[in-house]
Structure 1
Amino acid sequence: MLDPHARAAAEEHLRELLKVFGHDIDREGLVDTPRRYVRFLEQFLVPEEFDFTSFSKENYDQMIVQRDVPFYSICEHHLVPFFGVGTIAYIPDRRIVGLSKLARCLRFHAAGLQNQERITMATASRLQEALEPKGVAVILQARHLCMEMRGIKAYGATTITSEVIGAFRDQNRTRGELLSLISQGQK
């Protein structure tokens, strides 16, 4: 998090930016906006570290899939939010991870000024490095407000990215099983 001097400087810069666009920063609704916006940026630009604890696999060698994991990020090109859900899957070799760590891994890599492709690849790479599984798959589906609010104004358009490693890339049957599991229970 920012130290108090950096936070105060960021808030003052935001006040000046709002003035440039003709806003009365002393208006009741805007007085605390710089403080709130800087706190928003801190929340989304500074990743929250976590311990990537893992355990022996206890003879479990089947696919582990976590669906509908929400994530939020900020587009590095337009400074506008994008958000969606991820599916994270892996096939243990020697280690398994606590289930919350899959969501934490995605949230960690979504922090900062990002693009969806980088989040997808970084999440998959972190799982591969930490667990050395037989395979990793990360699939993200997101709505980008930079596309919906400006430019093409394609409201509701979604972007899907994927990164598949090991058995998910090399074995069609394994990839097919993953896709079947993902589609179960979807509307």
Structure 2
Amino acid sequence: MSESLQQHYHKIIQILGEDVTREGLLDTPKRAAKAMQFLTDGYEKNLSDVVNDAVFESDMDEMVIVQDIEFYSLCEHHMLPFIGRCHIAYLPNGKVLGLSKFARIVDMFARRLQIQEGLTKQIAEAVQEVTGAKGVGVVMEGKHMCMMMRGVQKQNSSMVTSVMLGAFRNNQSTRNEFLRLIGK
């Protein structure tokens, strides 16, 4: 895949009117291909491998929150970055998930072409799937380069999305507790 990507980046640079033989651009197709492979390596991962059996029996039944998980992704509309923070909460139902696995789940889905709304839903559903929790809440805050660098060019704009499942959807006090604890 890398060789093919390199060839396409080479052609794109030419189409833009640049001299691909210029010193500063000689290795750009290779570097761009390598970067794109890294930025989209979520396609090469699956939930089972990411979680890697790090689900543990537990009698914990109070809310667990992991907040301020940094993420970066590429929007499927312009292939421009959007970056931000993800906050995840769940109500364990006999099982807890290893702490680092939350960040790994976020990264797996973020490193695919998509929109923030879909990313939020994928993360919530994945946490629900692997933990069997009584409820899951995910809030994501993102800054989108497609809105900041092009189009309307609004530098201070941000987007907040949320997905609430189970008790977080059905119980207003549970939802409020989560939002209060993450400062929303």
TM-score normalised by the chain length of structure 1: 0.91
Task: List, as ranges, runs of 4+ consecutive aligned residues in structure 1 with deviation greater than 2 Å.
Answer: 48-51
User: What is the deviation of 1:9?
Assistant: 2.1
Which residue is 2:10 aligned to? 15
Q: Does 1:119 align with 2:114?
A: no
Q: Give the C-alpha shift of residue 17 in structure 1.
A: 1.2
Q: Structure 2 matches for 1:133-172, cutoff 5 A? A: 133-172=133-172
Residues 113-164 of structure 1, C-alpha deviations (whole Å, 9 max, x = no match): 1110111000000111111101100110000000001111011210000000
Which residue identity does 1:17 align to in structure 2? I
1:7-86 → structure 2 map (5 Å cutoff): 7-47=2-42, 49=45, 50-52=49-51, 53-57=54-58, 59-86=59-86
One-letter amino acid of the structure 1 residue matched with residue 133 of structure 2: P
The farther-off stretch of 42-51 and 65-74 is 42-51
Deviation by residue 1:15-41 (Cα, 9 ceiling, x = unmatched)? 111111110111111111111111111
Relative to structure 1, is the Cα distance of residues 153 and 51 closer, same or farther in structure 2, using a 3 angstrom cutoff? closer
Superposed CA RMSD: 1.3
Task: Name the CA distance, whole Å, in 1 between partners of 2:123 and 2:171.
Answer: 21
In structure 2, how many angstroms separate the alpha carbons of the residues matched to 1:35 and 1:51?
28
C-alpha distance in structure 2 between counterparts of 1:136 and 1:115, whole Å: 20
Matched residue count: 178
3-state DSSP class of the match of 1:183? Answer: coil
Inter-partner Cα distance in structure 2 for 1:118 and 1:177: 24
Gaps of 5+ in 2: none
- TM-score of the two chains, using structure 2 as the length reference: 0.93
Identical amino acids, percent of aligned pairs: 38
